[in-house]
Amino acid sequence: MAEIALSAKNLSVHYGAHGAVRNVSLDFAAKSVTALIGPSGCGKSTFLRSLNRMNDLIPNCKVTGEIWMKDRDINAPGTDVVAIRQKIGMVFQRPNPFHKSIYENIAYGPRYHGVKNKKKLDEIVEESLTRAALWDETKDRLHKSALALSGGQQQRLCIARSIAVKPDMILMDEPASALDPVSTAKIEELISELKREFCIVIVTHNMYQAARVSEKTAFFLTGQVVEYDSTDKMFTDPERAETSDYISGRFG
Amino acid sequence: MKAKTVDKIATGVFIGIAAFIVLLLASLLGYILVRGVSHISWQFLTSPPQTIREGGGIGPQLFNSVFLLVLTMIITIPIGIGAGIYMSEYAKPNKMTGFIRLVVEVLSSFPSIIVGLFGLLVFVNFFDFGFSLFSGALALTVFNLPLMVRITEQGLKGVPLSQKEASLALGISKWTTIRSVMLPVALPVILTGTILAAGRIFGEAAALMFTAGMSSPRLDFTNWNPLDAVSPLNPFRPAETLAVHIWKVNSEGIAPDTPEIAAGASAVLVILVLVFNLGARMLGRYVHRKFTATK
């Protein structure tokens, strides 16, 4: 059995009285990609945003249950939320680079976390951009605004930005849904590279994407996990009728 | 009548109203400038006023106006931005914050003469600051502070949530996120709003008559020790500002060239307020360009 990077136990999310996620328990293996699929409004994004406590920002949103990371329940009261977010990076649906230079977009995180040495920061910037397959395109314009990059480049910059703070895992919330097919292919390639080191959890609407990039897939329906298994099994021989209906495009 | 005809008439009426407003504004500005500009000279801008004789200037008043503006801004900018950050980022949305917001709204639209009387009672008499720049600055703070709070709050609320989330998702604290990511994005809005608010302070008269006073002591512009009674920098001296001077000259001036002085001073005031407004727009646009893409 592979090493478990993060494990959610009986996780429920409520917006006021409305239950968006109900009693979800999932284990995420280290150095692998897990895809969360399901129709719109099934709670997969909400679940993802609970894992790094991003839902804390939303008023009226209550997350109950446990999230275990290395023998610690990071959903317990009194957890240092800021510290755990460094360990669990996030890439959003729409590319959201800071209104800063490309260099500053990357250096901002590490500098906050204590890297003050200019040379060391330069190294981190180069390494992160290289790993996000963006170095060649940006090395001559590091100090130009990141907002002048194309959408696909911006999204890779956001990925570079999150690996620059050395997380253990990266949550991706439909990272390619706002991009064109070529940029999407690049992001998928990048995900396959990054899984050698990180535990990646990706929410996607694109079934083919889930099939291409992930080892395991969880199918969400109305706030619950219907089925969670290896991606191969899910796409060829699912246990449940709902899963096979969704994957074969009969609804959703 | 046919719908098309009605449409044409409506369009005409609105164009007419707009033209009327523009015309009114232009003639007002033109009148003040045409009457006043001819009287503006270096001597007029730098020399002290005369009570009885001709040839008085507005030097001390001009200086007082600028100095009072700086004093007020020193008080209001840090407090206003701090409170704005609190209201936008820290305050929980409940009845209490709703009430604070209401108070802020009411305060900023207070009649300035009331603020002046309040200043007279509280700052001048009760705290015994006397007729002084300091009392004047505090009175101006009463309606400038709420404005600053609102400007900052709106500036921060205008920052896309995705920017904030991006920073927090890197494991960065709330305060650093506000300081390093949100404030730079909100800066053009805050800057523009601040300068516009400054323009309002610059033209304020009613709130200052009973607080900063209507007289200006002999100032020694070679003495820059803020603790000295004749020093221009002393914040505890009475100080008549340009706007108050215009009012005073018009209502009780006895020098023979009173109308010219009033006209000249008005033109100076209007020109400075215009400079503030245009400057705010240009600076805001420049900073916006600088912080977003095209550099």
DSSP string, B21-56: HHHHHHHHHHHHHHHHHTT--HHHHHSPP-SSSS--
Q: How far A204 CA sits from the closest chain B CA (Å)?
A: 19
Q: How far apart are CA A174 and CA B164, in angstroms?
A: 19
Relative to beta strand A169-173, strand A199-203 is parallel
Is-contact B183 B225, C-beta < 8 A?
A: no
Q: Is residue B157 a part of any domain in this protein?
A: yes
Nearest CA in chain A to B93: A59
Q: How far B192 CA sits from the closest chain A CA (Å)?
A: 19
Q: How far apart are CA A87 and CA B171, in angstroms?
A: 8
| Mutation target vs A (from B170, B173, B182, B287; most A CBs, 10 A cutoff) | B170
Residue whose structure tokens are 């207070």: B110
Nearest CA in chain B to A171: B169
Mean pLDDT by 10 residues, chain B (295 residues): 90 96 94 87 82 79 88 92 92 86 85 88 86 89 89 92 93 92 89 86 86 78 76 82 86 81 88 86 80 55
Q: Is residue A111 a part of any domain in this protein?
A: no
Q: Is residue A230 a part of any domain in this protein?
A: yes
Q: What is the pLDDT of residues B186-231, one digit of tens each?
A: 988 898 888 888 888 888 888 888 888 787 777 777 777 777 777 7
Is the pLDDT confidence value at A195 over 70?
yes
| Mutation target vs B (from A55, A93, A112, A144; most B CBs, 10 A cutoff) | A112
Relative to beta strand A169-173, strand A88-91 is parallel
Nearest CA in chain A to B176: A112
In three-state secondary structure terms, A156 is helix
Question: Is any Cβ of chain A less than 8 angstroms from the Cβ of B292?
Answer: yes
How many domains are there within chain B? 1
pLDDT for B295? 47
Residue whose structure tokens are 């990272």: A175
pLDDT for A169? 93
Query: Once rounded to an integer, what is the mean pLDDT over residues A129-144?
Result: 90
Question: Is any Cβ of chain A less than 8 angstroms from the Cβ of B165?
Answer: yes
pLDDT for B77? 92
CA distances (Å), origin A74, targets A60, A68, B56, B144, B251: 20, 6, 74, 45, 72
Domain span including residue B123: 38-291
Is the pLDDT confidence value at A1 over 60?
no
The shortest CB-CB distance from B171 to any of A59, A82, A147 is to A82
In three-state secondary structure terms, A215 is coil
Greatest pairwise CA separation for chain A in angstroms: 57
In three-state secondary structure terms, A21 is strand
Q: How far B106 CA sits from the closest chain A CA (Å)?
A: 28
Is-contact A105 A146, C-beta < 8 A?
A: yes
Q: Which positions in chain A touch B176 (Cβ < 8 Å)?
A: 112
pLDDT for B292? 61
How many domains are there within chain A? 1
Residue predicted with more confidence, A164 or B232: A164
Nearest CA in chain B to A94: B162
Q: How far apart are CA B103 and CA B146, in angstroms?
A: 9
Nearest CA in chain A to B89: A57
Q: Assign A216 a pLDDT band (cuts: 50, 70, 90).
A: very high
H or E stretch covering A208: helix A207-213
- Exposure class string for A39-73: b at 16+ Cβ within 10 A, else e: eeebbbbbbbbbbbbbbeeeeebebebebbbeeee
The shortest CB-CB distance from B169 to any of A52, A83, A112 is to A52
Is the pLDDT confidence value at A211 over 80?
yes
Q: Is residue A105 a part of any domain in this protein?
A: no
Count contacts between A and B (CB, < 8 Å): 80
Is-contact B211 B120, C-beta < 8 A?
A: yes
Q: Is residue A133 a part of any domain in this protein?
A: no
Q: Which positions in chain B touch A84 (Cβ < 8 Å)?
A: 171
Instruction: Please name the residue ranges forming H helices in chain B.
Output: 3-37, 42-46, 59-85, 95-108, 112-119, 133-157, 161-168, 174-176, 183-202, 206-209, 242-252, 258-291
Looking up residue A193, the CATH number of its domain turns out to be 3.40.50.300
Q: What is the pLDDT of residues A32-86, one digit of tens each?
A: 999 999 988 888 999 999 999 998 888 888 999 999 998 889 998 888 999 999 9
Looking up residue B79, the CATH number of its domain turns out to be 1.10.3720.10
Relative to beta strand A33-37, strand A199-203 is parallel
Residue whose structure tokens are 């910037």: A125
Residue whose structure tokens are 């991003």: A54
Structure tokens at A57: 């920002």
Domain span including residue A225: 4-95+166-247
Q: How far B105 CA sits from the closest chain A CA (Å)?
A: 25
Contact across the interface for B93 and A98, Cβ inside 8 Å: no
pLDDT for B101? 87
Contact across the interface for A98 and B176, Cβ inside 8 Å: no
Q: How far apart are CA A22 and CA B96, in angstroms?
A: 34
Within its chain, how far is the Cα of A175 from the centroid?
A: 8
Contact across the interface for A147 and B293, Cβ inside 8 Å: yes
Contact across the interface for B93 and A59, Cβ inside 8 Å: yes
Q: What is the pLDDT of residues A6-34, one digit of tens each?
A: 999 999 999 988 889 999 999 999 999 99
pLDDT for B22? 96
Nearest CA in chain B to A84: B171
pLDDT for A252? 60
Q: Is residue A62 a part of any domain in this protein?
A: yes
Q: How far apart are CA B283 and CA B280, in angstroms?
A: 5
pLDDT for B105? 85
pLDDT for B291? 66
Q: Is residue B2 a part of any domain in this protein?
A: no
Residue predicted with more confidence, B57 or A101: A101
